[in-house]
Structure 1
Amino acid sequence: MKIFNALRISLLATLASSCLLNVAHADDALKMELTSNQVVKNSEGKTIYTPVRTAPAGTVIQYKATYTNTINKDINDLMVTLPIPTNMTFTGESVPASAQASTDGKNYADMPLMRKVDGKMVKVPYSEYRTLRWNIKLLPAKKSAAVALNTTVN
């Protein structure tokens, strides 16, 4: 299955529009870089990340967004959101693990998401997760922070 440039553009647009900054001139304050890498374990069990543009079903892909504060002032309470592409299923792995998840892109809760079925609380399947968000409490001046999520190609 192909990972299209249009998907990257869509993710970039969503990410850029999801950032909430408490700084003047926020448009110039934050630079974001998005990468997609295939996640594989080598023979020694070490995780290797390799840039990828196309991948068959079943391939694990990590989407990583790196945010760089480009100004000489700290940014506090930076809320960032990373969508899960429609042709992907979230694996349950996020970095940092403090991410909250949403099935609709509006309502977020700590993971694992739960719902009531027949009077019992059950976990929401990862296949229903549509976005993750993180609160970067402090992004110091001229520093970077990264968030990531792993997905499997459907």
Structure 2
Amino acid sequence: MKKTNSFANPFAAWSGHRLFHVVAGTLVGAMVVTQASAMLPTPEAATNNPVAMQVSSNNTSSNAQAITSRITASLISVDANGQELLVPVNENTRLQSGNILEYQGFFTNTNADRVRKMTVSLSIPQQVELLGGVTPDFAFASVDGNAFARMPLRGQVNGQTQEIPLQYYQALRWNLEGVGLNDTVMVKYRARVK
């Protein structure tokens, strides 16, 4: 009899989608959603993606609003003194199974007003598995890329409730508040190349 992994089934429908989402609301309370492809796990140079958004206010006028996003990946290595180094991943980087990467997402408010609340989601590529190092704390996670819950995720395995191993996580989400004009917020996580 063949054993099946009870966590693997939800991945089939989501495996082709690797997106991150930014949702921003300004002081007037409007909400906007935008998407961009994340270049993970081996991005070329860091990308800058200005994302144009429409925000409506009560006076029926529209203003173009923007959050500039940049996603980077760095290979973690150790120098001769045992100090950790982050080496940016580029088109010449050769990754091997077992390499540890740190992914960082930078989101800059280029709106005319401060952003009251921003929800940022980053996908975890199929080629890596989440190790931890999730910052800021109090992140949400998903095993299917759709339904998110506060970390650590818990589920039923063989009739027992237990924590779902990080290797099954597909995406992370953070709720960020009070992002001032030209302020940049950063989210990050660490993963191991499979």
| Distance in 2 (alpha carbons) for counterparts of 1:47 and 1:74 | 35
| Distance in 2 (alpha carbons) for counterparts of 1:47 and 1:112 | 26
Find the partner of 2:95 among 55, 61, 65.
Answer: 55
Pair 1:106-2:143 in alignment: no
The structure with the greater share of residues assigned to strand is 2
- Identity rate of aligned residues, in percent? 26
2:190 match: 150
1:40 match: 77
Aligned length: 141
Match for 1:102: what amino acid? Answer: S
Give the 3-state SS of the residue equivalent to 2:146 in structure 1. coil
Q: Describe the superposition over 1:66-122 as per-residue Cα deviations: whole angstroms up to 9, x where unpaired.
A: 000112311122000010000100002211122111001111112111112234221
Pair 1:138-2:178 in alignment: yes
| Distance in 2 (alpha carbons) for counterparts of 1:46 and 1:134 | 29
TM-score in terms of structure 1 length: 0.82
2:23 match: 20
User: Would you say the 8 A contact 1:63–1:148 is kept in 2?
Assistant: yes
Match for 2:25: what amino acid? Answer: N
**Contiguous gaps of at least 5 residues in structure 1:** 1-9
Structure 1 residue 43 displacement after superposition: 4.3
Identify which range, 128-137 or 111-120, moves more after superposition: 111-120
User: Would you say the 8 A contact 2:66–2:109 is kept in 1?
Assistant: yes
Match for 1:56: what amino acid? Answer: Q
Larger Rg: 2
| Distance in 2 (alpha carbons) for counterparts of 1:68 and 1:131 | 21
Give the 3-state SS of the residue equivalent to 1:116 in structure 2. strand
RMSD: 1.9
Structure 1 residue 141 displacement after superposition: 0.9
TM-score in terms of structure 2 length: 0.66
| Distance in 2 (alpha carbons) for counterparts of 1:117 and 1:66 | 36
User: Would you say the 8 A contact 1:72–1:142 is kept in 2?
Assistant: no
Find the partner of 1:78 among 112, 118, 131.
Answer: 118
Q: Describe the superposition over 1:26-71 as per-residue Cα deviations: whole angstroms up to 9, x where unpaired.
A: 6642000111101123344433111123311100111111000112
Find the partner of 1:89 among 129, 148, 151.
Answer: 129
User: Would you say the 8 A contact 1:84–1:129 is kept in 2?
Assistant: yes
Give the 3-state SS of the residue equivalent to 1:146 in structure 2. strand
Find the partner of 2:68 among 18, 26, 31.
Answer: 31
**Contiguous gaps of at least 5 residues in structure 2:** 1-16, 31-53, 56-63
Match for 1:75: what amino acid? Answer: V
